[in-house]
């Protein structure tokens, strides 16, 4: 942000002074990111961007020495590089988040599908359980009938043997 330095050269020593601009409102303390004054603080009216805006400007800090200017420029460059890196990481992060959301949605669909299959299999197993119980009851009935049949056959066999042995005794 280019700064017009057509101001006075007074500097402020208090840590947080309240300075009024030409508009009569409080001028906030800002920090310059310009090539010529990196990191140097100044007061500037909030209306400076307005058409016919206030031109109030006053440095808070004294001029920076050459070494400080060089260091400030390096820090501004480093800061810009870090901000660019952060922006790139945010993009990558957003892409990963979108990918994870898509994967999560896919997994939720698969879970719902598996829950549906599980529910269908529960109903099928319940039906099979009912059939098995019915078959077991039939089996019990058939076993009881078979036991009755064996007893009836045994009795019949004994009757036949008794009839066969008795007529032979008479001879």
pLDDT digits (tens, 9 = 90+) for 50-83: 767 788 889 999 988 888 888 888 888 898 899 9
The mean pLDDT value for 116-126 works out to 96
Write down the H helix ranges in 2-65: none
Residue 8: which pLDDT band, with cuts at 50, 70 and 90? very low
pTM for this one? 0.46
C-alpha distances in Å from residue 88, one per residue of 41, 123, 143: 29, 52, 79
Rounded to an integer, what distance in angstroms lies between the CA atom of residue 100 and that of residue 105? 8
What is the DSSP pairing of strand 41-44 with strand 29-31? antiparallel
Work out the number of other CB atoms within 10 angstroms of the CB of residue 26.
13
Contacts with 81 (C-beta within 8 Å, 6 or more apart), sequence order: none
Closest to 64 in 3D by CA, of 56, 79, 76: 76
């Amino acid at each position: 942000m280019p700064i017009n330095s057509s101001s006075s050269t007074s500097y402020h020593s208090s840590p947080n002074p309240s300075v009024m601009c030409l508009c009569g409102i409080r001028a906030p303390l800002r920090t310059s990111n310009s090539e010529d004054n990196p990191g140097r603080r100044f007061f500037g009216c909030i209306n400076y961007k307005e058409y016919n805006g206030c031109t109030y400007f006053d440095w808070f800090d004294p001029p920076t020495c050459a070494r400080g200017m060089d260091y400030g420029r390096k820090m501004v460059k480093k800061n810009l590089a870090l901000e660019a890196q952060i922006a790139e990481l945010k993009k990558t992060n957003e892409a990963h988040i979108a990918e994870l959301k898509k994967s999560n949605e896919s997994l939720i669909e698969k879970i719902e599908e598996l829950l549906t299959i599980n529910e269908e299999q529960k109903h099928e197993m319940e039906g099979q359980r009912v059939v098995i119980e019915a078959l077991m009851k039939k089996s019990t009935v058939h076993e009881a009938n078979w036991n009755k049949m064996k007893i009836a056959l045994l009795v019949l066999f004994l009757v036949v043997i008794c009839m066969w042995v008795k007529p032979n005794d008479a001879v």
